[in-house]
Amino acid sequence: MRIVIALGGNALLHRGERPDAAVQEANIDRVTTAIAALAQEHEIVITHGNGPQIGLLAVESAADPALSSPYPLDLLGAQTQGMIGSLLVRTLHDALPGRRIAALVTHTLVRADDPAFDHPTKFVGQVYPYEVASTLARKRGWHIAADTTGWRRVVPSPAPERILETDTVHELLNSGTLVICAGGGGVPVTADQDTGALTGAEAVIDKDLTAALLAEDLKADFLLILTDVPCVYAGYGTPDQRPVLGATPAELRRGGFPDGSMGPKTEAAARFVERTGGLAAIGSLDAAYEIVHGRSGTLVRPDLTVT
């Protein structure tokens, strides 16, 4: 079975942790343990988030006196693909001796006129108290929004239109390679209508929506979205909270999940299942193997109702 796995950005850097390299290197072992068992049995493609990491690099870049202006988000996104990809390659190399493993810097085409550029929604970086976040917003021209435990920077998150290296990923998979790609949703680029020339975009694409598109293009059987909760919850954080263990795309969309957290995950799962007839699931990183085998998480299945 061909599985596309989407790792949350917090898989390497949990909420409240110091963003040190040593912390992320320690956390990568947990990721490897979760994935290695699946890789023994299936073709695997790994995508990953980069919200904490790209936010950290953006803060460092903005504060660097040697720079006349901060690095743009597309180049910072490419840096996070290299860093996280390297960590995953090294640990998976040890866990899967003899297996070919490659991390590929991947570019994702977006529309220059996507309305998302005018309405930032993608959380990046760390959580701040409101006073700190508002001061940083004034000083650096940020947009900020309330997250679950504080305030964070938000940036534009245009819809992924096409992953430019999909054919290369196909070739790597066909050679038996475990592929790490489309990190942080891919480096966002726009294409000139006349020449096709690529230009970086000041944005961070949602990695789950990119993972759904990648899984569709690769003709994957299963899209596995791993996060820090055991499953999708209806009414999350309210007295009426209840687990959603199975749903069709239509049922998920009726759940009204928020844009800043579970919304993109449920939408990504719904899109993949609708467009391919395959299966998708959302659940905890530590239960990855159990989720694929139907023993954990939220399974998203096609609507087989005959009308």
Annotated active-site positions, please?
Answer: 9-10, 122, 207, 265
Single-letter amino acid, residue 176: G
CB 288 within 8 A of CB 299: no
